Amino acid sequence: MMKFIDEFRDPVLATELVRRIRATAKQPWVLMEVCGGQTHSLLRHGIDVELQDAVELIHGPGCPVCVTDISAIDLAQQLASLPGVMLASFGDMLRVPGSQGSLLTARAAGANVMMVYSPVDAVRHAQSHPELQVVFFAVGFETTAPATALAVLQAHQLGLENFSVLVSHVRVQPAMEVLMQAPDNRVQGFLAAGHVCSITGYDLYDDFAQRYRVPVVVTGFEPVDLLQGILECVTQLETGTAEVRNTYGRSVARFGNPAAQRVVETVYEIDDRAWRGFGVIPAGGYRLRENFATFDVQRRFGLTRSTETNDSATAQRCRAGEVLSGRLKPCDCPEFGTACTPDSPLGAPMVSSEGACAAWFRYHRGSKL
């Protein structure tokens, strides 16, 4: 029994919410679930199929390893091959192909690469291995930024000189702006990413919802959470309103978590960031503040990130950019399920546990929706 999870998987409630959504939607509305965790839950529980013809769900860019620019992965590979360096990151990040294969394939070829559950584990590793330079490849949305910022704060307090970070954090709201400004945008309502909002709150969406006349509903991850978010969004669209609503109140407060925001703001400042499939997004990421610049991997090793996109022939066949911006359904990619599978992926969305292509492969296989 998992409290605050099992109750929100009740099939009777889910069935009733599906009925209400179908009764409310007089036309097929196009909603985007922003977070890849939501994508996987929607497909795993068959919610997209249940709502077919009433609501079209298009998958958003909320898969951090998918939007990580190839140049960052290549730089991580370069670092991992340096003598005396141990490169650490989350499992998903290690599986994503760069222009020269993934970090796991680099490990098989002798590079020092370590999978960690938490960035603070990488700090502990640096503490117990003073002979190594431990580099943490910091990816993730606002949800993950407090964990990597806390790792930097801990390393700072411990005075560690053998810990540094390759910061490739992304911020979700600027990407939503880019999506809405695209001439071929089809999104009519957003299910905002629940755990991103646990940190940031949702007052920052008020202006966004007004400017684009688009409902933004903060939504959780369990079937009943997702259906509540969809029902709220569809109800707003049917009544011509475009407001910010929170259907994930157990984890999200209007102004987020101020303690977590302080941790992030102490260590990071907002920066422009190259996103895979989107190009450079203004204010689309974080970088280390000057006070913590000694932990910046590029300063520590005197390396720079390539600004040129240097996609391999394999990566060029991957249409991740179109999938991540919701313009291409995974099943409509010619490589889906044939040349590109989770065992031999052409690109990140087929690799990551949050990638839309991996979700489609796992739950829908070849079926078309």
Residues that bind another protein (CB under 8 A): 1-5, 7, 10, 12-13, 16-17, 35-37, 62-65, 90, 92, 117-121, 139-141, 143-144, 146-147, 150, 153-154, 157, 193-196, 198-199, 221, 224, 228, 249-253, 256-257, 259-260, 263, 352-354
279: phi then psi, degrees, rounded to nearest 5: 80, -165
Using alpha carbons, select from 68, 13, 73 the residue that is nearest to residue 36. 68
Pick 13 or 331: Cβ nearer another protein: 13
Q: Residue 249 CB, nearest distance to another protein (Å)? A: 4
Amino acid making up residue 21 = I
What is the token pair recorded at 186?
């089809």
The tokens describing 228, both together, are 């509540």
Phi and psi based region of residue 244 (left: phi greater than 0; alpha: psi -120 to 50; beta: remaining): beta
CA 254 centroid distance within chain: 21
Q: Is 251 in contact with 220 (CB distance < 8 Å)?
A: yes
In whole angstroms, the minimum distance from the beta carbon of 269 to another protein comes to 19
Whole-angstrom CA distances from 368 to 52, 336, 338, 360, 363 are 11, 12, 15, 10, 12
- Cβ proximity to another protein: between 31 and 192 the closer is 192
Cβ proximity to another protein, 221 vs 336, nearer residue? 221
Q: How many CA atoms lie within 13 A of 75 on its CB side?
A: 26
Rounded least distance, CB 210 to another protein, Å? 25
Report, in Å, the least distance between residue 304 CB and another protein.
26
Which of helix, strand or coil describes residue 323? helix
CB 272 within 8 A of CB 285: yes
Q: How far is the CB of 144 from another protein (least distance, A)?
A: 6
Choice between 188 and 347, CB closer to another protein: 347
* Nearest residue (CB) to another protein, 7 versus 269: 7
Q: Closest CB to another protein among 68 and 188?
A: 68
Amino acid at 97: P
Cβ 21 to another protein shortest distance, Å: 13
Q: Name which of 248, 147, 233, 235 is nearest 201 in CA terms.
A: 248
Phi-psi label, residue 4: left if phi above 0, alpha if psi -120 to 50, beta otherwise: left
CB of residue 337 vs another protein: minimum separation in angstroms?
Answer: 24
Q: Which residue lies nearer to another protein by CB, 194 or 321?
A: 194
